[in-house]
Structure 1
Amino acid sequence: MNIVVVGAGLAAANAVDELREQGHTGDIVVVGEEQYVPYERPPLSKGLLLGSDEPDSVFVHDREWYDERDVDLRVSTPATAIDLDRRRVRLGAEEVPYDRLLLATGAQPRHLPMADSSGAPVVHLRTLDEALTLRDRLTEGSRIAIIGAGWIGLEVASAARQRGAEVTVLESAPLPLQRVLGDELATVFADLHREHGVDLRLGVSVSGVEHDDGAAVVRLEDVEPVVADLLLVAVGVTPSDSLAAAGGLAVDNGVLVDARLRTSDPHVLAAGDVANHDHPALGGRVRVEHWDTAIQHGRHAARVMLGEDEPYTRLPYFFTDQYDLGMEYVGHPGPEGYDDLVVRGDLAARQGSVLWLRGDRVVAGMHLNDWDAIDPLRAVVGRPASDAVRDPKVPLAELG
C-alpha cells in the first residue's frame, strides 16, 4: 500500500512513526511547503523566544531518521492538486499515486489587511522562520505591540517581557481568553500580565496601522495610538483546507472527518489543525489547534489507514507557560459553553484546579501550577458531575 502525506508537520511525523512501528513496509511519501523537516510549534512561542531552546531542538526527528525508515520526505515541495478519482497528488508537473492519502496541512495565521498594506514592521507567528525573526527583535527596551490576547499573543508577551521588551497588548474583548476560559479564569491571566508590566488594553478597537520612520503606529478609536518597533498580529488561524476543497472533499472550517478521521473520500484521511472531527466522546464536531491533538491524530490516522476501525476518542489537551504560571487544560465545552465552575485551590495564588460543568457532566478541566493534577483531570472530564465533583472541598485526586 502506497501512502502519501501532504503537510510535513507534527501530525505527519507521528503518522510516519506509527506506520513504521506498526509494520507497514510500503512506500511513504511526505511533502511539505517549508524548507524544514517536521518540527514542533509550542517552542516557537515559548522556549525559542526566551532563548532557552535552540532552533535544532524543535525538530521531531533529524533528516537521517526519515532516510533510515525509507521515507521519501520532500521539503519545499507544495502539493498543488488532488485527483480523487485517479488517486494522484500533483506536485507541480509531477503526479504521485496513492492508495491512502493523509492530509495534515495544518493552519495559517489570519491577517489584517490594514497591517499587511501599511509597510510597517509587522510579523505573524506560525513558522520557525517567523519565530527566529521575532526572537531577534525581542531585545531590552524594544517596543512590541501585539494585536490579540489569545494563547499566542499572551505567550509572546510573556517571552518579550522576560527579554526586557516593552509590551502593549490590544484586545477587543473585555478580557483575554474570555471565550475559552470564562471571566473568572480570564481575569487570572489579565492580572498576571499586568503584574509583569504588560500594558494590557482590553475592549479596544484597532482602526488602522501606519508606518512612521521605521515604526508601526497602531491607531485606536477614541484614544491615542500605540507606537511600536514591531507589531505582532495574533488574531487566530484558519485551517489550510483549500487543497482539499479544490479536490472535491467536504470542508467546513477545515476538512470534515468522521469519528475515525476519514474524509468524504474513503481513501483520504485528515489529521491535526486542518481536521474538523466528529468527536464521539464530545458529541459534536471540533477542530483543535494544539500540539497533543496533532500527535495523537497522526498516530490514529496511521492505524486507521492500516485497517484499524476504532474511533478517535481522546479529549483535547493543551498547555501554556507564562512567567511563573504553568497550566494544562483538557476537554472542550463546545459552543454550548458551561453552566458552572468548580474551583479547588486559590486562583489568586495561581495554585489549584478548575472544572467546567454543563448540565450533569464535566466538560473541561484545568490546573494552575499543580503538575500532579492532569491525570485526575483526564479521569473526571466527560463523567457525570456528582456531588463530590461539585464539592470544592473534595480533593481532585479522590474523584478519579
Structure 2
Amino acid sequence: MAPSNDAKPLRSVTIVGGGMSGFSVARELRSRGFRGELTLIDPAGIPYDRPPLSKEYLLGSRSAQDIQLAAADWFAEHQVVVVTGRAVALRPDEATVVLDDGREITGDKVILATGGAARRLAIPGGDLDSVLELRTREDADRLRSVLKPGARLAIIGAGLIGAEVASSALPFGADVVLIDPVDPPLVPAVGHALARRLHDMHPDRGVEVVTGVPTSITRDPGGRHHVAMASGETIDADAVLVGIGIVPETGLADAAGLATDNGTLVDESQRTAHPNIYAVGDSSRSRLADGTLLRRAEHWEHAVNTGATAAAALLGQDLPKHGVSWFWSDRHGVHVEGVGSMTGDGTTIVREKDGEPSVVFRLDPDGYLAGCAAVDGGLSVRAARRLIDRRILVDPQQLADPAIDLKKLTK
C-alpha cells in the first residue's frame, strides 16, 4: 500500500544534511520522477562518503574528489541545488530552514538528514581540543597530520572505527595503542568467535592492546597526552583519538518541538510527528504504530534505505521493502561483513576455515537463521541474508560444514 500523501502537489523539497541518507533522498526523488525544486544543504557543500575516512582517504589512496557521492556535474544535470551552509533553525509549519548566515529556505517538505556527532568521553580532559575524533573530512586531515614515523597514537574505542584507524595508522610508521574496556569488542556484532579472531589481529600486526577504562586525559606543556586508566596505569601518547560511537544530531528537531528519543522519531514512512518534516539516516529512529521504539541504526545501508523510503513516501508511491540490516568493515587486510542480529536468544554455529572461525551464524530459538558474520566471506553473508529474508529453515550441520555451498541452501 502506498502511504497517504497530502492532496497538495509536491513542488519543492529541502534536504538538511549531505551525507549518504540526504544524498539518497535526492537521488531517489529524481529517479522516481520528481521534477520540482530540490535543495540540499550541508556545511561541506557537495556530499561525500564517510566510510573511506578511516581507510582509503586517511591513507591518501583516494582524494577528496574521489570520495564525493556524485560529481558536481551530477547535481547540475539533475537540478539539485547544493547550498553550502549550516542549518540553525527549523519552522515546521512553514517548512522553512534558517541558515547560520541568516538565509531562509522555504519549500513544501523538509528532510532532516543531520547524521550524528562523535560521542565525547565523559571524563576529565575528554573535551580537550587536542583530542581527535573522526566524523568529517577535516577530522581525517587532522588525524593524518599527526601520523608520522615514531608518533604514538592512543585510540580509545576498539569498535569498527577504532580498529580501522589502528590498521590504517600502521603504514605511516606510527606506534598505536588501542584501548577498550571489553575483551574482545564487537561480540554483539559478529559473535564471540569472530570477535576474538579480529581483536587478536591487532597485536599480531604490532598494535598494543590495552583492556581497561580511561579515567582522565591530560596534556603537558610539550603537547604530550597522558591517559590515566582505572587500573592505575598511565598511557602516554602524542595524539589521542576517541572512537566510541556517535550521538544523533537532533538539535533542529528538538528546538522545533518534534518528538525525539535518541533520534528524531519517525513512522514507517520516515515522517516525523509534523507532516511537513521527515527524518532519515543516523539521526532518525522508528516508532511503530503501537508506540514501540525500534533500535536506532547507524549503518551505511540504513542511510540509503531510509532515503529511498522517504522519497517514495513523499511521492505517494509504495514504500520499498528492505532486507535485514547489513554492515561491513576492513582491518589489517581482511574484509568483515555482518547481516541480521547476532544477539538475543538462540544458538551459535561456527564454520571454520584453516582452523580459524571464518563464518558465524546465529539461530533463533525456532532454528531459523537470525544473523551471520564472516571474515572475507561476502558470498556467505549474501546467501545468509537470503536465508533470513526468505525465512528458510536450514540444518545446523550444513551451516557448520565448510564444504556446503550456502548459496545452494537458498533455493
Given the two structures, how large is their TM-score scaled by the length of structure 2? 0.89
Instruction: Note if 1:11 corresponds to 2:18.
Output: no
Q: How many residues align?
A: 391
| Aligned counterparts, 1:249-268, within 5 A | 249-268=258-277
**Structure 1 ranges of 4+ moved more than 6 A:** none
> What amino acid is the match of 2:351?
R
Instruction: Note if 1:330 corresponds to 2:339.
Output: yes
| Aligned counterparts, 1:16-165, within 5 A | 16-32=26-42, 34-75=43-84, 77-92=85-100, 93-113=102-122, 114-118=124-128, 121-165=130-174
Q: Greater CA deviation, 19-28 or 306-315?
A: 306-315
Q: Counterpart in 1 of 2:362?
A: 356
Q: Counterpart in 2 of 1:344?
A: 351
How far apart are the structure 2 equivalents of 1:102 and 1:166? 43
Partner-residue secondary structure (3-state), 1:261:
coil
Structure 1 pair 303–387 and aligned structure 2 pair: CA distance change class (3 A): closer
> CA deviation digits over 1:280-336, x for unaligned, max 9?
9xx961322122221222222112211113265332211111112112111135xx6
| Aligned counterparts, 1:355-374, within 5 A | 355-360=361-366, 361-374=368-381
Does the 8 Å contact 2:305/2:322 carry over to 1? no
How far apart are the structure 1 equivalents of 2:58 and 2:103? 38
Q: CA deviation at 1:108?
A: 0.6
Does the 8 Å contact 1:141/1:165 carry over to 2? yes
Q: Percent identity?
A: 32
Does the 8 Å contact 1:260/1:312 carry over to 2? no
Q: CA deviation at 1:118?
A: 4.4
Partner-residue secondary structure (3-state), 2:163:
helix
How far apart are the structure 1 equivalents of 2:326 and 2:354? 21
How far apart are the structure 2 equivalents of 1:36 and 1:3? 17
Given the two structures, how large is their TM-score scaled by the length of structure 1? 0.91
| Aligned counterparts, 1:240-279, within 5 A | 240-278=249-287
What do you get for the CA RMSD once the two structures are aligned?
2.2
> What amino acid is the match of 1:178?
V
Instruction: Note if 1:301 corresponds to 2:307.
Output: no
> CA deviation digits over 1:134-184, x for unaligned, max 9?
122222221010111111001000111233211101111232223433322
Gaps of 5+ in 1: none
> What amino acid is the match of 1:296?
N
Structure 1 pair 277–348 and aligned structure 2 pair: CA distance change class (3 A): farther
Q: 2:387 aligns with which of 368, 373, 380?
A: 380
Gaps of 5+ in 2: 1-10
Does the 8 Å contact 1:255/1:263 carry over to 2? yes
Structure 1 pair 381–139 and aligned structure 2 pair: CA distance change class (3 A): farther
Instruction: Note if 1:290 corresponds to 2:296.
Output: no
Q: Counterpart in 1 of 2:5?
A: none
Q: Greater CA deviation, 310-319 or 123-132?
A: 310-319
Q: CA deviation at 1:279?
A: 7.9
Structure 1 pair 387–295 and aligned structure 2 pair: CA distance change class (3 A): closer
Partner-residue secondary structure (3-state), 2:145:
helix
How far apart are the structure 2 equivalents of 1:68 and 1:387? 48
> CA deviation digits over 1:66-99, x for unaligned, max 9?
1222222111x12122222232222243332221
Partner-residue secondary structure (3-state), 2:379:
coil
Structure 1 pair 314–267 and aligned structure 2 pair: CA distance change class (3 A): farther
How far apart are the structure 1 equivalents of 2:288 and 2:408? 28
Q: Counterpart in 1 of 2:6?
A: none
How far apart are the structure 1 equivalents of 2:137 and 2:182? 29
Q: CA deviation at 1:243?
A: 0.8
